[in-house]
Amino acid sequence: GAARLVVDDDFEIAPVNDRLFGSFVEHLGRCVYNGIYEPGHPESDEQGFRRDVIALVQELGATTIRYPGGNFVSGYRWEDGVGPKEDRPRRLDLAWHSTETNQFGLHEMAAWLQAAGGNELMEAVNLGTRGLEEALDLLEYANVPGGTELSDRRRANGADKPFDIRMWCLGNEMDGNWQLGHKSAEDYGTLAASVARGMRQIDPDVELVVCGSSSHVMDTFGRWEETVLEKTYDLVDFISCHAYYHPELQPDGSRDMVSFMAAGVDMDNFIKDVAAAIDATKARLKSNHDVFISFDEWNVWYLNEEPSKNPEGIGNWPVAPRLLEDIYTAADAVVFGDLMITLLKNADRVHAASLAQLVNVIAPIMTEPGGPAWRQTTFFPFSVTAKLAKGGTVLEPKLASGTFTTPRYGEVPVVNSVAVRGADGTVNVFAVNRSLDETQEFEIKLPKGFAATQAEAQTLHEDDILACNTLEEQDRVTLHPNDTIALDAANGTVRVTLPPVSWTAV
Ligand code: AHR
């Protein structure tokens, strides 16, 4: 039978936080250099910012930007990136086996965000090779108005007003053994608590994100959250989650597409597990404080496959090499859309999220040096969800769907969906059909008394689920109007047909 979503206006999950549409700019490969920043490109402004990229970022609807890493931040000296550009050192970037020229740093990032329309900056401090003192120095430099050594240095470097950064990440993926300065949960929790206390002595109103697990499948998952939250609970506002999905290669060379299509199920369970750890800690500590989830890295990523391999060799440290330049398929975009639905469904617990990353590096936007910028397949679900859901309220999803069986996650619903009441009174529904071969009829029961006059749907679907957008063919995959949509105003229903492997916005 048809999958069915009952939209009940009386039951709300949460307002949609603008920060759910955050993204991530790391000093990694060509995200910064030859991505957002390319002096001399015909489209670049006098600061070297590519205007064509900024236009796409605006169309994408990305909000808060996490910066400067990622794994990069765990070896980063923020001072290298401020002051006259000709004096800035070239350094080894151990995370990505590259050379960091430091021609782009905090001031450039803040200026770029202004040029992009005033997006918020979410800054990460280095708790890998560094610690409390450097975190405090950076906060003084960024947020104190003036009259001290570091705040005056910022002013001398051209930023008279403080950057006034609200959101701060206390390190990055400190649970991962690949992380420079990787720590045990006990050691990290103790350090994060002392850094949080110190930062609040400078600026009590900062919003702090403590590192959760790098993925749902880490051996330390669960215990890490418990230990770290126990030590930091009342001092932080968020705990992070990171998750990347891809269709895993099987011994016979095929990929597990069936499980991949259900990645949203895993993300949903991940969020529920971390929420449980937060609640348990809150209860144990008898705290009145709330900690939310910052899902500050999520995407499809063909991790450990080309082109994600680091350069090698003691004499080989390239500047901005092509790294993690995944080219996304139509199927990837459908799973990606499902991840966005999942974030929305959990909007009561997830108050911020960052699509990793923004340009060139596992990104919705690609560029060529001296050449064009274009949209990957994943661009479309992000831009449409951001456009329709921003400012809205997520309604409790009452969804009935058939199921299918996956090797990895067992039995899962074929259709996933969520409804958002728009700021303008519209009802917006996002839906995926996870089936690889079956079309699904989908019925939406509109809220009682909602006088629908018009219904529209756009679908991302390709008969070739591996179709993608490339430099040669930049507009191969895009959204198409879904003409199967039928509004029955008398009965308050909308019906639409969802092709196999498709994402739809109604
Ligand atoms: O986004 C790419 C990398 O993935 C980040 O640097 C790191 O935090 C994560 O492992």
pLDDT averages per 10-residue partition of the chain, 506 residues: 91 96 98 98 98 98 98 98 98 98 98 97 98 98 98 98 98 98 98 98 98 98 98 98 97 96 98 98 98 98 90 97 97 98 98 98 98 98 98 94 97 98 93 98 93 94 98 98 96 97 98
Predicted confidence at residue 243, as pLDDT, reads 98
Pocket test for ligand 1, best of 71, 74, 303 (most atoms within 8 A of CB): 71
Residue with tokens 């205007």: 51
Q: Report which protein residue has its CA nearest ligand 1's atom 2.
A: 70
Indicate the residue among 373, 390, 407 that finishes a domain: 390
Say if residue 366 is in the same domain as residue 411: no
Say if residue 52 is in the same domain as residue 107: yes
Report phi then psi at 231, rounded to 5. -85, -20
Interval between CA 147 and ligand 1 midpoint (Å): 37
Predicted confidence at residue 450, as pLDDT, reads 87
Measured from the Cα of 357, ligand 1's closest atom is 1
∠ CA 435-437-442, rounded to 5°:
55
- 1-10 burial: b if 16+ Cβ within 10 Å, else e: eebbbbbbbe
- 420-450 burial: b if 16+ Cβ within 10 Å, else e: bbbeeeebbbbbbbbbeeeebebbbbbbeee
The strand pair at 22-24 and 350-356 is best described as parallel
Beta bridge pairs of residue 504: 431, 459
Interatomic CA distance for residues 448 and 230, integer angstroms: 45
Say if residue 382 is in the same domain as residue 404: no
Measured from the Cα of 356, ligand 1's closest atom is 1
Interval between CA 23 and ligand 1 midpoint (Å): 13
Q: Report which protein residue has its CA nearest ligand 1's atom 5.
A: 70
Question: Is 446 inside a domain boundary?
Answer: yes
Question: Is 334 inside a domain boundary?
Answer: yes
Pocket test for ligand 1, best of 100, 213, 297, 305 (most atoms within 8 A of CB): 297
Pocket test for ligand 1, best of 23, 25, 26 (most atoms within 8 A of CB): 26
Domain count, the chain: 2
Indicate the residue among 356, 390, 424 that finishes a domain: 390
Interatomic CA distance for residues 420 and 9, integer angstroms: 9
Interatomic CA distance for residues 83 and 24, integer angstroms: 24
Say if residue 330 is in the same domain as residue 447: no
Measured from the Cα of 172, ligand 1's closest atom is 8
Interatomic CA distance for residues 430 and 424, integer angstroms: 17
Say if residue 374 is in the same domain as residue 418: no
Interval between CA 410 and ligand 1 midpoint (Å): 28
For residue 278, the 8-state DSSP code is H
Q: Identify whether the C-beta of residue 454 lies closer than 8 Å to the C-beta of residue 486.
A: no
Peptide bond into 61 cis (omega under 30): no
Say if residue 419 is in the same domain as residue 367: no
Peptide bond into 68 cis (omega under 30): yes
Interval between CA 70 and ligand 1 midpoint (Å): 5
Predicted confidence at residue 441, as pLDDT, reads 98
Interatomic CA distance for residues 95 and 455, integer angstroms: 48
CATH number of the domain encompassing residue 495: 2.60.40.1180
Residues forming the active site:
173, 297
Predicted confidence at residue 214, as pLDDT, reads 98
Q: Report which protein residue has its CA nearest ligand 1's atom 1.
A: 356
Residues with CB under 6 A from ligand 1: 26, 69-71, 172-173, 214, 297, 356-357
Question: Is 72 inside a domain boundary?
Answer: yes
Question: Is 151 inside a domain boundary?
Answer: yes
Measured between alpha carbons, how far apart are the two ends of the chain, in Å? Answer: 20
For residue 477, the 8-state DSSP code is S
Q: Report which protein residue has its CA nearest ligand 1's atom 7.
A: 70
3-state secondary structure of 299: strand
Question: Is 354 inside a domain boundary?
Answer: yes
CATH number of the domain encompassing residue 241: 3.20.20.80
Interval between CA 194 and ligand 1 midpoint (Å): 25
Q: Report which protein residue has its CA nearest ligand 1's atom 3.
A: 70
Say if residue 164 is in the same domain as residue 280: yes
Q: Identify whether the C-beta of residue 437 lies closer than 8 Å to the C-beta of residue 493.
A: no
Q: Which of 448, 446, 444, 435 is nearest to 403 (CA)?
A: 435
Measured from the Cα of 178, ligand 1's closest atom is 10
Q: Which of 64, 203, 205 is nearest to 122 (CA)?
A: 64
Predicted confidence at residue 268, as pLDDT, reads 98
Interatomic CA distance for residues 174 and 194, integer angstroms: 15
Q: Report which protein residue has its CA nearest ligand 1's atom 8.
A: 70
Tell me the DSSP string of 322-348: --S-PPPBHHHHHHHHHHHHHHHHTTT
Interval between CA 134 and ligand 1 midpoint (Å): 22
Q: Report which protein residue has its CA nearest ligand 1's atom 4.
A: 70
Interatomic CA distance for residues 119 and 58, integer angstroms: 10
Measured from the Cα of 95, ligand 1's closest atom is 6
Say if residue 344 is in the same domain as residue 464: no
Question: Is 424 inside a domain boundary?
Answer: yes
Measured from the Cα of 24, ligand 1's closest atom is 1
Say if residue 385 is in the same domain as residue 418: no
Predicted confidence at residue 263, as pLDDT, reads 98
Say if residue 364 is in the same domain as residue 413: no
Interatomic CA distance for residues 44 and 49, integer angstroms: 5
Question: Is 12 inside a domain boundary?
Answer: no
Interval between CA 109 and ligand 1 midpoint (Å): 19
Domain that holds residue 399: 3-7+395-505
Predicted confidence at residue 451, as pLDDT, reads 85
Interatomic CA distance for residues 30 and 454, integer angstroms: 43
Indicate the residue among 390, 417, 438 that finishes a domain: 390
Measured from the Cα of 297, ligand 1's closest atom is 1
Say if residue 123 is in the same domain as residue 199: yes
Predicted confidence at residue 323, as pLDDT, reads 97
Pocket test for ligand 1, best of 173, 303, 323 (most atoms within 8 A of CB): 173
The strand pair at 238-245 and 292-300 is best described as parallel
Interval between CA 160 and ligand 1 midpoint (Å): 33
Question: Is 163 inside a domain boundary?
Answer: yes
Interval between CA 34 and ligand 1 midpoint (Å): 19
Q: Which of 278, 249, 243 is nearest to 264 (CA)?
A: 243
Q: Identify whether the C-beta of residue 451 lies closer than 8 Å to the C-beta of residue 434.
A: no
Tell me the DSSP string of 364-400: SEEE-TTS-EEE-TTHHHHHHHHHHHTT-EEEEEEEE
Say if residue 496 is in the same domain as residue 364: no
